[in-house]
Structure 1
């Protein structure tokens, strides 16, 4: 059962059991839990559970720390074992993908195959995302070569969220490079001849840029006045960047009031449109 702390926060155990990497379960659980104020899940993840012995170990943990069980499992015997054991323990068990698969089955007029091969597809997707993350990290802040291997290239002046957006997109399986626009420094010549990657310009209000830059200098214990945080200079940097984006027809995203997730979602939408035109 959930328990309350002295400051009235509610803590509860959530057990995620998956025959894959568990990333789908984790994403669904966290998105759902975020809708409940002052309620914090204690996460227990059991990934790559594919044998009765592995499942027994996970269910023993559920017995020790009763809570909600969420699972994705192809094997019907293991699914049944989860349901039976959770019923004995009087804890709810949720087959996260079942409602989606049932709806798709009804819409398509086809049964759910339950093929083990689907697991291999998930594994391939996992490794594709790892490769994208590696690419994004190697091509952060103008580093690396082979820009032609990118799916997305982000451009922007300092402190326009290029790096965290690149990392987030990499985690989503999108190979992303980011390049800073620095006064007086030329951009890579290769950039202007690329056809396949989506090139996106990131911008923000001068006030927001100055605020973030000042905070960065404070964290670095740098208190000297510098043009880096001069609002007029920042405004000039932004005007130069916007003119560059307009000249080459690169789509632009204002990140002033956007979270990293919102910026990335916009980039993904632009990428979908871009792929239909190249």
Structure 2
């Protein structure tokens, strides 16, 4: 039986990066005969001393990804004193970044994992916004961070997607006189809901353009002033009943409205 060589992977975070690099290198040397022993979340000198004892006993290599300067310097010094080969997998590239871009690294462990977690939260929020768009499933109302309500063409869907990219789970519900709003809308805290209103003239203009884009007559009831006033009156009554903050989106860009929504939520939730 062939004796496996041992490589100690040491990291002040999880250590996945170092292990991946070691495995990639090991494949070039009949990698099946290399045993990787991972030491994660190393955050003090005692942890490093423990690894030194083991690495010296096994006559092994230490491959490390440590970004905290004091720990890195201590590991380098102790490895040199003990005659252990220690390979820094990050510093050469970090030094190149510093030289090329004239910026200093944060020296903070776990930042890549934090970025990964934020990415997956964003994907989850986007999927949520798609699933609970346009009142498709009222269960989303009670699960959402933000619920947007308003008549058709008040930018509920684009706002939902924009806020989802900021990692907020958003559901939106259209308010139509002929359709009773879902009961869930009156069960959530008022601070979770935002009403979107718009001037009749602006809504008339937007709806006419929408009909034109669909190849339909601009005189359709959807764009008539009578219908618009009826819808806006109905929406205002629902918003008053919910007791939610209201934003007029008449002449606002999506980014501006989203900023106002986040300001309102921050203020409402601070009490």
Question: Under a length normalisation based on structure 2, what TM-score does the superposition of the two structures give?
Answer: 0.62
Residues 15-94 of structure 1 aligned to structure 2 (within 5 Å) = 75-84=90-99, 86=100, 93=101
Contact kept, 8 Å, 1:142 with 1:179, in 2: the verdict is yes
Question: Under a length normalisation based on structure 1, what TM-score does the superposition of the two structures give?
Answer: 0.61
Contact kept, 8 Å, 2:222 with 2:228, in 1: the verdict is yes
**Cα RMSD (Å):** 2.3
Question: Equivalent residue of 1:115, what SS?
Answer: coil
Query: How far did 1:195 drift?
Result: 2.6
Query: How far did 1:233 drift?
Result: 2.0
In the aligned structure 2, how far is the partner of 1:166 from the partner of 1:241?
19
1:123 aligned to 2:116?
Answer: yes
Aligned length: 184
Tell me which residue corresponds to 1:209: 203
Query: How far did 1:246 drift?
Result: 2.0
In the aligned structure 2, how far is the partner of 1:246 from the partner of 1:264?
21
Query: How far did 1:191 drift?
Result: 1.2
Contact kept, 8 Å, 2:151 with 2:235, in 1: the verdict is yes
Residues 82-231 of structure 1 aligned to structure 2 (within 5 Å) = 82-84=97-99, 86=100, 93=101, 95=103, 112=106, 114-144=107-137, 145-195=139-189, 198-223=192-217, 225-231=219-225
Contact kept, 8 Å, 2:203 with 2:228, in 1: the verdict is yes
| Residues 94 and 169 of structure 1, relative CA distance in 2, 3 Å threshold | farther
Tell me which residue corresponds to 1:35: none
Question: Equivalent residue of 2:178, what SS?
Answer: coil
Residues 225-240 of structure 1 aligned to structure 2 (within 5 Å) = 225-240=219-234
Pair member with larger Rg: 2
Contact kept, 8 Å, 1:157 with 1:181, in 2: the verdict is yes
In the aligned structure 2, how far is the partner of 1:259 from the partner of 1:79?
40
Query: How far did 1:147 drift?
Result: 1.9
In the aligned structure 2, how far is the partner of 1:207 from the partner of 1:180?
19
- Note the residue ranges of structure 2 that are not aligned, 5 or more in a row: 1-19, 22-66, 68-89
| Residues 81 and 169 of structure 1, relative CA distance in 2, 3 Å threshold | same
| Residues 94 and 187 of structure 1, relative CA distance in 2, 3 Å threshold | farther
In the aligned structure 2, how far is the partner of 1:94 from the partner of 1:243?
57
